[in-house]
Amino acid sequence: MAKFPSQRKILYAGAAVSNGSFAETHTLCVPKDLSILNRRGYASTSRKGVPLVYRVAATVYPTGLDGSGYTTTVAADIRTTAKFLGCQNNWVIKNAAVKWHAAREANFKLAGIKKRDRGAYSHEIRYGYDAVGDSFAAPVDGLGVAFTGGTWDKSDLSYAADASLGLVLVGDGDDEETDSFSGSQLSLAHSYLVSRKNQQADTNLETEEGPSRYSVLNKMLSGFQESVSVQDDIIENARGEQDNPPYEVLDLSDSGDVGHDITEEVELGRINMMPQGSGATLPQTIILDIPFGICRVLMSHQDPGNNSGFGDDLAIGLEVLDIFEMQG
């Protein structure tokens, strides 16, 4: 992991906000923007592929970049919400990233490509959020002008002859039960889970099939003959209780079943704002842990008074507080 950044504050221009429903305003890539502002390479993972979590203080500015405030007079019942979404933070995501990193390194080794022959910034995988072609927001300078920056190309992984694919953090997986995959992207977590032995929906299936509930031999050996009915109840409970995982089990036999809990994005946090006094709204700040440093932002104005013309944009500021490896 690169040195902790000295330039830790990042500002993003606003985007038009939908009135009445949530719509995406920004897709953010914190390591990309730290690289621009600190002139050194930051990444979504360590050199071993372990995902990095970026802890940030996120501030939403209702006044926009110029500080002029809302351009439309709003009623006291207006509500503005910004929510930050990202991939899940758990052992599956962590292990998936480490395994894919190892697979990529193995491909380079098989092709005879040494690390010194690769680009200086090609030691970690660069992920898309929900599409390989994601366009990340650009940070702006003190006058609100976007930084030029450099090139942030996504990582391509070779799968077969003349084929390459990218990895995304959220979104449906693909059918890998047949040898017909020819897509341009794979879900990080889904592809990892289908590479493992399939988890059974029933974790004690073997003991449900035997021994026999009324085995005479077992009754005689146990010396528990006087309370046979109690023993029968205990066996029944052992067979039927708490033997199903409390999480979704993937069904590999269903090739069309590629959308799973593990591929879904989760809410990292949200900010709710409302006008104060004559209509001014104070900036609001929330602490977020962003896996891989990649997230998207959805915003919405809600106005029970039906002021449908209100769609003012909101600027976003981030201050990086910490960078640490995902624990899983």
Q: What tokens does 8 get?
A: 């830790």
Other CB atoms within a 10 A radius of the CB of residue 172 amount to: 14
Q: Which residues contact 208 (CB under 8 A, 6 or more apart)?
A: 202, 239, 240, 243
Conformation bin of residue 21: beta by default, left when phi > 0, alpha when psi is -120 to 50: beta
For residue 155, the 8-state DSSP code is P
Q: Which stretch of 6-20, 128-142, 209-223 has the lowest confidence by average pLDDT?
A: 209-223
What is the layout of strands, in order, in the sheet containing 185-187? Answer: 157-158, 164-168, 185-187
Q: What tokens does 94 get?
A: 């962590």
The pLDDT tens digits for 33-60 are 999 999 999 999 999 999 999 999 999 9
- pLDDT(176) > 90: no
Q: Which residues contact 12 (CB under 8 A, 6 or more apart)?
A: 26, 28, 137, 138, 139, 140, 315, 316, 317, 318
Alpha helices in 184-250 (DSSP H): 188-193, 205-209, 216-222, 228-240
- pLDDT(153) > 70: yes
Q: Please give the helix or strand (H or E) that residue 96 lies within, else none.
A: helix 91-110
Shortest CA distance to 62 belongs to which of 48, 74, 47? 74
All structural domains of the chain with their residue ranges: 9-141+150-195+253-325, 205-240
Residues 313, 23: Cα–Cα separation, whole Å: 12
Residue 314 near residue 62 (C-beta atoms within 8 A): yes
Residue 169 near residue 129 (C-beta atoms within 8 A): yes
pLDDT of residue 317: 94
The pLDDT tens digits for 179-200 are 666 677 888 888 888 887 766 5
Q: Which stretch of 21-35, 202-216, 258-272 has the lowest confidence by average pLDDT?
A: 202-216
Residues 27, 31: Cα–Cα separation, whole Å: 13
For residues 186, 135, 156 and 130, what is the CA-based torsion angle, rounded to 10 degrees?
A: -10
Residues 137, 301: Cα–Cα separation, whole Å: 21
pLDDT of residue 249: 73
Residue % of the chain over a pLDDT of 90: 37
Q: What SS3 state is found at 157?
A: strand
* Residues of the chain by 3-state class (helix, strand, coil), percent to 5: 20, 25, 55
Cis peptide before 5 (omega within 30 of 0): no
Q: Which stretch of 236-240, 260-264, 279-283, 313-317 has the lowest confidence by average pLDDT?
A: 236-240
